[in-house]
Amino acid sequence: MSQYSSRGIGYSVTAPTETMMLIREKLSPTDGTYHGILCFHGHAGDSSQFEPFGQSTITAPGYHTWQLAEAGYLMGSIDAGGGTAWSNSAAMDRATDGYNWLTGTAGAKTGKIGLMGWSMGGMTALNWAKRNPTLVAGVLLWAPATDLDYFHSTSGYTPAYGSALPNNAGWTSEIDASYGSPYATTSTGYRIRDEYSSWAGLGIPIRVIHASDDTTIPVAQSQNGFVPGVNDANVTLRTPLPTGNHTGLFANVPSSETVAFFNGLTWT
């Protein structure tokens, strides 16, 4: 494994305690010639979630970041507002800071970058891409959260894709703390499920990978909600659906697919 990973603190001057990680092949230059990919962690995670070392071989997201680094990408991972930000405005600000860090200090090519998000991080990737389409070459999502009202268990809400609300009091409390009051107003523009058309026509390839046996985020949220809701040829769901539940799907998708997705993007 000819890999080099470095983790530091303070990629954002407005959130100086948040961490970032740069993952690259040890001979990859950091002089603005290699494309960058920014990774967004899942719930309760941080930038280390995409660390190649210390992960369980092919069963973790770090295996895919390793393979992308070996393929010549500079892989950045950031805290993005913390483990319970739920893609709020602070997460958007940190994502912008992460872009500036990756294409600045970290040495990735300026212009467009790739995005990769897992679970809650998928929501962050989508919300930032919607706001910054000219800076995004493509988005790869692993079991993405695409319905904030579902996780909030918003009173009176019934998902159109047919899944019952989780009624997880912890998630509801976290989202209320992240968005403030009144939730119905402060969450506007972040919920995803009520504005699928915002991702139509962006010209950004968005690839969704979701396990058929996911018990944390129902596959219907991607399969019957987000992907057909956007209704754009650039937004696709990987078929056949892998298995592996919410955390094990990484082992059942060849890393060559991950590399091929980013290699096939238009970066100009």
Q: What DSSP line would sit under 91-153, residue for residue?
A: HHHHHHHHHHHHTTTT-PPSS-EEEEEETHHHHHHHHHHHH-GGGEEEEEEES----HHHHHT
Q: What is the mean pLDDT of residues 229-246?
A: 98
Q: How far is the CA of 210 from the CAs of 68, 171, 179, 195, 248, in angstroms?
A: 20, 21, 27, 21, 11
Checking if the pLDDT of 1 tops 70, the result is no
Work out the percent of the chain whose per-residue pLDDT is above 70.
Answer: 96
Based on its alpha-carbon atoms, the radius of gyration of the chain, rounded to whole angstroms, reads: 17
Q: How many residues appear in the chain?
A: 268
For residue 54, pLDDT over 90 is answered with no
* Exposure letters 202-212 (e unless 16+ CB within 10 A, then b): bebbbbbbbbe
CATH, range 3-263: 3.40.50.1820
- Note the pTM of the prediction, 2 decimals: 0.97
Encode pLDDT of 190-225 as tens digits: 999 999 999 999 999 999 999 999 999 999 999 999
The residue whose two tokens read 């060559």 is 256
Domain limits, the chain:
3-263
The DSSP-derived string for 198-227 is: GGTTS---EEEE--TT-SSS-THIIIIIIH
Q: Which two structure tokens, joined as six digits, stand for 88?
A: 């709020």
Helical packing angle, 120-131 and 89-102, nearest 10°: 70
Query: In Å, how far from its chain's centre is CA 108?
Result: 19
List the 74-78 sheet strands across, edge first. 3-9, 19-25, 74-78, 36-40, 113-118, 136-142, 206-209, 235-237
Query: Where does the pLDDT of residue 53 fall: very low under 50, low under 70, confident under 90, or very high at 90 and above?
Result: low
Q: Which two tokens stand for residue 40?
A: 């967004």
What is the pLDDT, as a whole number, of residue 60? Answer: 81
230, 163 Cβ separation under 8 angstroms? no
Kindly indicate the confidence band of residue 52, based on its pLDDT and cuts at 50, 70 and 90: confident
Amino acid at 200: A
pLDDT tens for 221-232 read: 999 999 999 999
- The DSSP secondary structure of 41-52, one letter per residue, reads --TT--GGGG-S
50, pLDDT greater than 50? yes
What is the C-alpha to C-alpha distance for residues 118 and 50, in angstroms, rounded to an integer? 10
pLDDT at 129 exceeding the cut of 90? yes
Read off the pLDDT of each residue in 234-241 and give the average, rounded to a whole number. 98
pLDDT score, position 141: 98
- Reported as a single tens digit per residue, the pLDDT across 137-182 is 999 999 999 999 999 999 999 999 999 999 999 999 999 999 999 9
Percentage of residues of the chain with pLDDT beyond 90: 93
The pLDDT value recorded for residue 58 is 55
